[in-house]
Structure 1
Amino acid sequence: SFIMCEINHLSYTADEIIQYLSDDYLEIIHIHSYTVASWSKDLLRCITQLIGVTAGCCWWNGEEKTHMEIIFRTEKIAFDHVEDLMRIISYEPIYKQIKKDRSNDETILVGCILTMFMLIVRMKNMHLLSHLNATIRNTILSIIETVNNDELALCGYGVLSEVLTDEELKDLKMADNICNYFLQMLEDAWNLTKKKYKQIPMVLLLKGK
């Protein structure tokens, strides 16, 4: 989050940071993806921050493809990293701890991994990911059904929209769910105002009733 918010105040470019981090990043995530059950709180926080910084650099100023290609020089490297991230995000005790806001490391970690998924699947020539579609679909749907966090749910649907076919997406009824999420976000914003208005359910307002 710091990288995404403070990019204009850093002494290094995204390319320089990625060049420095990339090999160690891939190795660290690969090694620790096999031992998620034994992670300490400190290691969880370190892994969360490492993935967050890397994802932030990859999306620096919206030029994600350039920075992604520094890390993922081949399809195999990208594919292997998706598998590593899948091992982490599939560990149920992690996503069972997700909060409604970004108030703990588990919530931030899942958000960072979903962001990294989105970045990877948007890279061209990533047809190898088709072999993981069922695993990605089942894992992300489990997260969406379990958590009470609209932001992560929307991000999860964003990943699914990239990896599933149109027919598979229709079966998920994503449009209805996303619409409900957006309406709830609008209503939450409406309820936070300090000004006095006559408030009505946002759904009725948008329907013109």
Structure 2
Amino acid sequence: MPDTANQINWIFKEINHIVDDNDPFIVLVSLWLDNLAFFICENPQFDTLLMMCHTNQYIGRQYVITDQFKFYLTQLEQANVSQVIFTKKQLFYIKTCSFLLGSYLVAKPQNYIFTAEEILNHISDQYLNIINIHSHTMASWSKELMICITYLTNLVCICCWWSEETSMPIKTLFSTEQISNDLIQGLIRIVCYEPFHEEIQNEQLHDELSLIEPILKLFLVILQTQNTSYYFRSNIFLPEILLTLAESSSHEKHSLCAYAILGEILTDEKLKDLKFADSMYAFFLNLLEKGWHHPLKRFKRMPVIYLLR
């Protein structure tokens, strides 16, 4: 991490002055910031470092809440997205800046320059349209489109969770019942697309977020803040898909989210009918033990109390 704000500003100003949208310097900076975001995810205590705060202030002001960011979202709203649009600079905006800002906001900073509602106001309409359009055509997605949707969903989810004590951010996303239904059904279609399940069964460490992970987390936020369980219950295949994800994932955080969603949408009788009570019980006991022995009484940034819901 650079030692001064001037050093950080210099890096970003160099990017701003680059004419070639595929310049190698953009790639190097993106890799550095991606690694920084992953580091913050695993070590949230560094979120409060002065240079980390400055970096995310700059990213929010100069990249995310900008017309250029919205221009890139407009490109993603096309039904047939051309590969030409996926330049290194476009991915720097949509993937890298969204990822680092989201990793920073998870710690719920009190004095960030934008509120969760302001961020969602800036991106939510286009995000909703992107999901509505592309959730019918997963088989034709390019790797780059999948990356963009993954990191946008992650940012949207974190904004909703960041200010969960107020309902304004989530209301920004769910302004009408039809919009709520369209988004939930679109995300369910994505989760039910089996080729995407392969990535969470990989035991190797990923250098990318899993698409399924932020969607499952967003489902949890929606279920715990909105009266939307009937949308989820209307899909008769979803419980079986979630159970498969929970039992096949090599990553505990995916299993945790999938089990938690099942607990939200199924009645006690239907949970018993699935006949996985013993495996889920053992799974949660294991997580509780890990969280209890953590210095901050947390598991994967989640306080132990949340595991007892």
TM over 0.5: yes
Matched-pair contact (CA < 8 Å) for 2:132–2:186? yes
Which secondary structure state, in structure 2, belongs to the residue aligned with residue 121 of structure 1? helix
Q: TM-score, normalised by structure 1?
A: 0.78
Report the equivalent of 1:80.
182
Q: Which runs of 5+ in 1 are unaligned?
A: 190-209
Q: CA RMSD in A?
A: 2.8
Report the equivalent of 1:4.
106
Report the equivalent of 1:126.
228
My pick for the range that moved more, 31-40 or 63-72, is 63-72
Report the equivalent of 2:206.
103
Q: Which has the higher contact order (CA 8 A, sep 6+)?
A: 1
Residues 121 and 135 (structure 1), Cα distance of their counterparts in 2 relative to 1, 3 Å cut: farther
Is 1:70 the equivalent of 2:172? Answer: yes
Matched-pair contact (CA < 8 Å) for 1:14–1:60? yes
My pick for the range that moved more, 50-59 or 126-135, is 126-135
Superposition map of 1:157-176 within 5 A: 157-176=259-278
Report the equivalent of 1:151.
253
Return the letter of the residue paired with 2:239: R
| Aligned partner (choices 1, 6, 13) of residue 115 of structure 2 | 13
Report the equivalent of 2:194.
92
Q: Which runs of 5+ in 2 are unaligned?
A: 1-101, 292-309
| Aligned partner (choices 135, 139, 142) of residue 33 of structure 1 | 135
Q: Deviations over 1:33-85 (max 9, x none)?
A: 11211212211111110000000000014336331111101222112111100
The CA distance in 1 between the partners of 2:209 and 2:191, in whole Å, is 10
Equivalenced residue count is: 191
Is 1:24 the equivalent of 2:159? Answer: no
The CA distance in 1 between the partners of 2:226 and 2:289, in whole Å, is 37
Q: Deviations over 1:77-133 (max 9, x none)?
A: 1121111001111111111111347625462x2110011111222234325426525
The CA distance in 2 between the partners of 1:65 and 1:40, in whole Å, is 35
Q: Deviations over 1:160-192 (max 9, x none)?
A: 111111101122345432332245457879xxx
The CA distance in 1 between the partners of 2:206 and 2:155, in whole Å, is 18
Q: TM-score, normalised by structure 2?
A: 0.55
Q: Deviations over 1:125-144 (max 9, x none)?
A: 32542652523212212222
Matched-pair contact (CA < 8 Å) for 2:151–2:209? no
Is 1:57 the equivalent of 2:159? Answer: yes
Instruction: Give % identity.
Output: 37
